[in-house]
């Protein structure tokens, strides 16, 4: 938001977005009711309190809601220091993470032969409505060969499939986010179940538990999680899992593990549905190291996003080093969670290479030496072996 100070100079005010990150705010543009998928739609928000974030933590489980003007925070101190701490690669990472994403690391990501997957990107956000083609061209130029576009409710799941129709190298996820657990009707859920059988759909989700920002009652979140997990087992398409607890706690992480075990993940049910493929993916990982180890014991995969660069997420550096390569992915969670070295206004899939470079440093390897197609575990983005080749011949 542009305002004039007492000396008549114009400046931009910083707004916290729904992930809690600071960004410069511009007034929303009128897209003529058309979203990035080309579908007619009004303002793309998740029918929750404006400005309070669909995602609960900072991960970006679901777009897209611009904060209202009442949330503008004035003063240089509120944004300037925090933005620099989160986003300046020359200063490294704050909060005690070792080495950080150095300027050398950013410079080293000279794509070349590196082939990347962005395992979580909300391209149906209205923040991409004006330029989704340009965004995807930039991603391809940066070495991104696959993108998973997850849904969080009925409309966004439909929109993900519409994007796959326009850009066949994308894959869709369909499901219900914990914030929408109490909002999705029985008819909408039945529609999601029908969509899940579509070969364009590679994963179920985003779903999970959010105990940090409780936009749907926890009892409804658990019921929603159970039916999304059941759908994943029924279709053999991995669940994409969001999990957040209040700062310093792990209640949601422990509850998620319990729900996974109760549903049969890590046992004979998931073995029958998935074989040796991971039955679920912890998206935008957040939590203690022992939570990651317990999830790995159940056969899950782990995806790391720009959330890793935030204070309080220090364990992710160790997690990035211990996850087996065939179960490790990276993501942008665009349009949120821009990593250090990326643009401050809006994240985009091309910047997945920055997080991939940081993960490679944690593992003591060069990004160019990581296996092709994901930087790490290509088949983890779910059912690619069955859907992508059949759809594209690639």
Tell me what pLDDT residue 132 has.
97
Q: CB of 331 within 8 A of CB of 120?
A: yes
**320 within domain boundaries:** yes
Whole-Å CA distances, 32 to 47, 129, 263, 306: 19, 10, 43, 31
Tell me what pLDDT residue 6 has.
39
Q: Say whether pTM exceeds 0.85.
A: no
**94 within domain boundaries:** no
**65 within domain boundaries:** no
Give the CA dihedral 24, 25, 31, 37, nearest 10 degrees: 50
- The count of structural domains within the chain is 1
CATH number of the domain that residue 259 is part of: 3.20.20.140
Question: Cα separation of 346 and 24, whole Å?
Answer: 9
Residue-wise pLDDT tens digits, 65-102: 332 222 222 222 323 322 323 333 323 322 223 234 44
Domain hosting residue 237, numbered range:
103-392
Closest residue by Cα to residue 106 from 92, 121, 120, 89: 89
**334 within domain boundaries:** yes
Residue-wise pLDDT tens digits, 246-305: 999 999 999 999 999 999 999 999 999 998 889 999 999 999 999 999 999 999 999 999
How many residues make up the chain in this entry? 394
Tell me what pLDDT residue 338 has.
84
- Provide the percentage of residues in the chain whose pLDDT is more than 70: 64
Residue-wise pLDDT tens digits, 30-75: 333 444 554 434 333 333 322 223 343 333 333 333 322 222 222 2
Give all strands (DSSP E) within the chain, no chain letters.
Answer: 2-4, 10-12, 14-16, 22-24, 116-118, 144-150, 170-174, 201-210, 239-244, 280-282, 301-304, 328-330
**50 within domain boundaries:** no
**123 within domain boundaries:** yes
Question: Cα separation of 336 and 11, whole Å?
Answer: 23
Tell me what pLDDT residue 24 has.
33
Question: Cα separation of 185 and 154, whole Å?
Answer: 9
**14 within domain boundaries:** no
**43 within domain boundaries:** no
Mean per-residue pLDDT over the chain, rounded: 74
Tell me what pLDDT residue 325 has.
84
Whole-Å CA distances, 146 to 159, 190, 202, 331: 17, 28, 12, 11
């Amino acid at each position: 938001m542009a305002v004039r100070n007492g000396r008549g100079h114009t400046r931009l005010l910083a707004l916290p977005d729904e992930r809690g990150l600071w960004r410069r705010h511009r007034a929303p543009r009128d897209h003529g009711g058309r979203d990035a998928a080309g579908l007619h739609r009004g303002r793309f928000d998740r029918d929750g309190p404006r400005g309070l974030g669909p995602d609960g933590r900072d991960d970006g489980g679901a777009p897209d809601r611009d904060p209202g003007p009442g949330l503008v925070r004035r003063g240089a101190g509120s944004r300037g220091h925090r933005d620099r701490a989160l986003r300046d690669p020359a200063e490294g990472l704050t909060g005690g993470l070792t080495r950080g994403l150095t300027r050398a690391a950013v410079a080293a990501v000279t794509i070349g032969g590196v082939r990347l997957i962005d395992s979580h990107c909300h391209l149906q956000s209205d923040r991409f409505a004006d330029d989704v083609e340009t965004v995807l061209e930039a991603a391809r130029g940066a070495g991104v060969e696959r993108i998973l576009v997850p849904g969080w409710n009925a409309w966004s799941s439909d929109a993900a499939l519409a994007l796959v129709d326009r850009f066949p190298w994308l894959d869709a996820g369909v499901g219900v986010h914990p914030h929408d657990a109490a909002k999705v009707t029985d008819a909408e859920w039945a529609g999601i179940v029908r969509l899940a059988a579509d070969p364009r759909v590679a994963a179920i989700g985003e779903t999970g538990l959010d105990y940090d920002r409780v936009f749907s009652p926890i009892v409804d979140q658990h019921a929603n999680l159970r039916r999304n997990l059941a759908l994943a087992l029924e279709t053999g398409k991995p669940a994409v899992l969001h999990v957040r607890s209040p700062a310093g706690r792990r209640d949601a992480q422990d509850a998620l593990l319990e729900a996974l075990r109760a549903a049969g993940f890590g046992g004979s049910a998931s073995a029958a549905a998935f074989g040796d493929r991971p039955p679920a993916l912890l998206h935008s990982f957040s939590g203690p190291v022992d939570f990651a180890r317990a999830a790995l014991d159940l056969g899950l995969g782990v995806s790391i996003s720009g959330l890793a660069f935030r204070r309080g997420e220090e364990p992710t550096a160790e997690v990035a080093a211990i996850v087996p390569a065939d179960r490790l992915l990276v993501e942008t969670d665009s349009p949120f969670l821009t990593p250090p070295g990326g643009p401050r206004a809006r994240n985009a899939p091309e910047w997945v290479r920055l997080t991939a470079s940081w993960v490679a440093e944690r593992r003591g390897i060069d990004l160019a030496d990581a296996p092709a197609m994901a930087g790490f575990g290509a088949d983890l983005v779910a059912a690619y072996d069955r859907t992508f080749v059949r759809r594209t011949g690639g």
